[in-house]
Structure 1
Amino acid sequence: MNILVINSGSSSIKYQLIKMPEETVAASGLVERIGLEGALIHYNAGETKLSKEVEIPDHETGLKRITAFLMDSDVGVIEDENHIQIVGHRVVHGGKSLTKTVEVTAEVKEEIRNVFPLAPLHNPHNLRGIEVAEKVFANAKQVVVFDTAFFHTMPQKAYQYAIPKKFMEENAVRSYGFHGTSHKYVSEKAIAYLNEKGLPSEKIITVHLGNGCSISAIKDGIAIDHSLGMGPANGLIMGTRAGDIDQSVIFYLIDKLGYTPQQVNDILLKESGMLGLTGYSDMRDIEEKSAEGNETCRLALYMNGYRIKKYIGSYIAALNGVDAVVFTAGIGENSSVIRKIALEDMEYLGLHLDHRKNDVRGKTIRPINSPEAEKQILIVPTNEELEIAKQSYNLIK
């Protein structure tokens, strides 16, 4: 069965054509810098590896260019759209009612639309991807996997806010959590790895660091707490998002400095985080500038790592200990600098980083803790697309 997985981000589309249940990838790639100058589409299929700079003003154009590659007479892997049986979509926010993987219906799309305000950078693009895929792959089953679904196991003490409870009961104002597809995938991989090694695996902290960042506390495979909340904006410092911030700052910007609520929202979501601190949103640029002596970038790196450290400590308390801390996603898997800062002076908790192992890059699950360490520190490459394919296949089969 061919499953095309579409992972639409705020300015990108990751895609994989996966054969299930074999879990083999026939084609994969990325459309990046959507809506920006220098947009790129990458396409990989067997020995074919192509990258092309093209104009991609929106997600619809991006998806159509992906489809053209998949069906290309020279480099394509399918003859026509009917060779796609399932299209699996990542949707960031499922709200209160969409708590599991579902087949797309008009009602599902309407609910995704209803929670646009909770994930304004993602849900509109996710829904657009679904609508375009319905046209292009009219005979395929359309399936949605929600990032929030993994966190519906959180206890009420973790997801309820300390505001009048009527807002939760009447308006669904609560913490939902995000990046659940990634956290689910890497936590299961980490637990399997630890079990194979005969190591404890009950208490896991997963750290997802990309342009968006989050951290989860997982006990016996079940999420019990998470850094992101009602929307994907709080918690860790991100590429363009501020993460945790005193709400007084928001009212000060509005009441004293004259910004509108929409302007403040845009500042916190699109102009803050590492971009606001340094002028750069790409961690590779920031690390390079820091290494060249840029103190602003150096401070931003330490602020970023310090925020991660605080969450690791709080989740160790919530779990009553930890068996493994797991780093994943683009920055989590590749930035030895951020991992080093985040784990600095954590030896008293049994977290001993092996700096030599930390500096070695790889694409497989690997420990980066010292051999004598009481606790495990793992890098587990995430594969949200495969997780979406698995859930989509299990639903439809």
Structure 2
Amino acid sequence: MGISSCQEIMPGVPMVAVFDTAFHHTIPPYAYMYALPYELYEKYGIRKYGFHGTSHFYVAKRAAAMLGKPEQDVKVITCHLGNGSSITAVKGGKSIETTMGFTPLEGVAMGTRCGSIDPAVVPFIMEKEGLSTREIDTLMNKKSGVLGVSSLSNDFRDLDEAASKGNQKAELALEIFAYKIKKVIGEYIAVLNGVDAIVFTAGIGENSASIRKRILADLDGIGIKIDEEKNKIRGQEIDISTPDATVRVLVIPTNEELTIARDTKEICETEVKLRSSVPI
């Protein structure tokens, strides 16, 4: 409907669709395939696709610039943390692993999404609660995550405030969120065979000093140390590591709109070149 409306209002103007999944097309088959019968992949395309690609692409490129290294020589873990959150391992400017999968439900715990769980939990809940497929999908996507655990809110500011006043479920929700991300960082350091920087971006990643501190606590054994004063910033592009840290920790405000604009420009220019090269 959007494309049709734009074509009607702006006839002759190129229409470009920039997909959040595109950046993750470089993930290898052994990482994007699920251990399900192969024919299900062939019939329905069931595999990991990944999301937040425009954000991960942008901040990974900015991270290389901040580190002063060629993009092809940099290994970074980008943490896009918001109500929806995903973590990506980026090697040489290419995505090689990411947490979101066939849908944005897979991965770490989020605002209202449960993230990865034992698949057998799904039919168990459906049977015990008498839920339909649509109802269980709604429960996992819209009623779970930190909202479900805390029984309070999916707004991390509310949870921070409640936890500071002794609300145990709010504290547990924050601990779960941070722990799941910490585990992924460890996994992705193994996948990358080392890492140059951990990058925080998006609403929570850019603005929540307390969440960044929770996630990175007790990681000094692998060279991750943050400066408490620098970590207090909000929404600024900055290295918050201590001078002796061997892994840099960067806060980089994302700019998905700029990435989309650049992709659109490149696609349109390529289309013009292709058309001009075709003999009349």
Tell me the TM-score normalized by structure 1: 0.65
The C-alpha deviation readout for 1:340-394, integer Å capped at 9, x for no partner, is 111111111111121211112243x211111111110000110000100010011
Q: Distance in 2 between matches of 1:217 and 1:206?
A: 7
Report whether the alignment pairs 1:210 with 2:82.
Answer: yes
Note the C-alpha offset of 1:250: 0.3
Quote the residue 2:260 is aligned against: 388
Note the C-alpha offset of 1:132: 4.2
Quote the residue 1:173 is aligned against: 46
Quote the residue 1:194 is aligned against: 67
The C-alpha deviation readout for 1:212-232, integer Å capped at 9, x for no partner, is 100000111111100000011
> Is the Cα–Cα contact under 8 Å of residues 305 and 338 in structure 1 kept in the other structure?
yes
> Is the Cα–Cα contact under 8 Å of residues 215 and 227 in structure 1 kept in the other structure?
yes
Report whether the alignment pairs 1:303 with 2:176.
Answer: yes
| One-letter code aligned to 2:229 | R
> Is the Cα–Cα contact under 8 Å of residues 217 and 319 in structure 1 kept in the other structure?
yes
- SS state at 1:355 partner: coil
> Is the Cα–Cα contact under 8 Å of residues 208 and 214 in structure 1 kept in the other structure?
yes
Which one of the candidate residues 280, 294, 312 is aligned to 2:185?
312
Quote the residue 1:121 is aligned against: none
| One-letter code aligned to 1:253 | I
Higher strand share: 1
> Is the Cα–Cα contact under 8 Å of residues 195 and 201 in structure 1 kept in the other structure?
no
Q: How does 1:207-356 map to 2 (within 5 A)?
A: 207-278=79-150, 279-356=152-229
Note the C-alpha offset of 1:242: 0.7
| One-letter code aligned to 1:376 | R
Question: How many percent identity over aligned positions?
Answer: 45
Runs of 5+ consecutive residues of structure 1 not aligned to the other structure: 1-127
Number of residue pairs matched? 268
| One-letter code aligned to 1:212 | G
CA separation of 1:258/1:169 partners in 2, compared to 1, >3 Å: closer, same or farther? same
| One-letter code aligned to 2:204 | I
Report whether the alignment pairs 1:164 with 2:37.
Answer: yes
The C-alpha deviation readout for 1:77-131, integer Å capped at 9, x for no partner, is xxxxxxxxxxxxxxxxxxxxxxxxxxxxxxxxxxxxxxxxxxxxxxxxxxx5444
> Is the Cα–Cα contact under 8 Å of residues 58 and 255 in structure 2 kept in the other structure?
yes
Q: Which has the higher contact order (CA 8 A, sep 6+)?
A: 2
Q: Distance in 2 between matches of 1:153 and 1:302?
A: 32
Quote the residue 1:375 is aligned against: 247
Q: Distance in 1 between matches of 2:45 and 2:71?
A: 40
Please list every run of at least 4 consecutive aligned residues from structure 1 whose deviation after the TM superposition is greater than 6 angstroms: none
Q: Distance in 1 between matches of 2:188 and 2:252?
A: 19
Quote the residue 1:360 is aligned against: 233
| One-letter code aligned to 2:257 | E
Runs of 5+ consecutive residues of structure 2 not aligned to the other structure: 270-280
CA-based RMSD: 1.8
